[in-house]
Amino acid sequence: MKTIVKILLASALLLLITLPATTGAEENSNSPMHWGFKKGRNGRQADAGRMFEVILEDHGAVYKGDKNSKDIYLTFDNGYENGYTEKILDILKEEKVPAAFFVTGHYLDSAPELVARMANEGHIIGNHSWHHPDLTKISDEKIKKELEMVRSETERITGKKHMTYLRPPRGIFSERTMAVAKEAGYTHIFWSLAFVDWNTDQQKGAQYSYDKIMTQIHPGAVLLLHTVSKDNADALGKVIRDLKEQGYEFKSLDDLMLSKGGMKDPMLY
């Protein structure tokens, strides 16, 4: 009996020794994370904390630019059209400001003329997934399909084949989803300035949007705004003009990635 017990214990020990060392890491790699940060104040940059900083660096992702340069990167999430994107595009054109618009499948289906205008006027169109799912809850293949559906439809509408930037739906991500997206050719773009602006039945006026932006603004800020917000559309012109007067310069995500050395071949862009 003692001999049998010894054999069983030895077998169990051998099994533990020979298990792949990465098993635990693989299981944890899809642990969902919700993007968040300490807001910027008085010109100081927002701070996502060491853990997020390391994860983003490991996967080539970004959420802000150089703290010593008064550059701003304006981005919009476009889940659906609510009648304000045309006004936003008019303002950007008048002020000669570049932006990035992260679109979903619904937006591509319902507002293709606006997507075409974005591209024609030199704005970046980013990928926000087709169905806006929690990417951590779907397989690698489904993630790739979500992204490819957006890319291919954007190409059909705009003629532009390449899509470079991804913003994860709901700000939920994992190391697995970041790795899958990177393998598909995408750079994750998070943000360092945002506020609750997407509730269309709880708009509070242009001054609210203006104040939320101006109190958080900082060098290298990546702004996340939603085009469904009337407040944002009404405040945007004044925000841009006042920030220009403060010495800020609006730049594109391509400029941001170039500054970080994140483009493999800048001549392609």
Structure tokens that stand for 171 in this block: 């700000």
CA gap 25, 40 in Å, rounded: 33
Strands 100-103 and 165-166 turn out to be unpaired
Quick one: pLDDT band at residue 29, thresholds 50, 70, 90?
Answer: confident
Average pLDDT over residues 164-192: 97
Average pLDDT over residues 133-148: 98
Judge whether 123 counts as a catalytic residue. no
Residue 265 confidence (pLDDT) above 70: no
Write down the pTM of the prediction: 0.87
Domains of the chain: 33-268 (3.20.20.370)
Helix residue ranges, H only, 80-161: 85-95, 105-110, 112-120, 140-158
Strand partners, 205: none
Write the pLDDT tens digit of every residue in 33-64. 999 999 999 999 999 999 999 999 999 999 99
Judge whether 201 counts as a catalytic residue. no
| Nearest residue to 46 (alpha-carbon basis) of 191, 171, 210, 247 | 191
Sequence letter at residue 46: A
Average pLDDT, the chain: 89
- With both helix axes pointing from N to C terminus, report the angle between 140-158 and 112-120 in degrees, rounded to the nearest 10: 70
Q: Please name the residue that has the structure tokens 């700000």.
A: 171
Q: Which of 123, 197, 226, 254 is catalytic?
A: 226
pLDDT at 262: 58
CA 13 to chain centre: 45
Q: Which of 71, 77, 197, 254 is catalytic?
A: 77
Tell me phi and psi for residue 94, to 5 degrees: -65, -40
Write the pLDDT tens digit of every residue in 192-229. 999 999 999 999 999 999 999 999 999 999 999 999 99
Q: Please name the residue that has the structure tokens 């705009």.
A: 158
Number of Cβ within a 10 Å radius of residue 59: 16
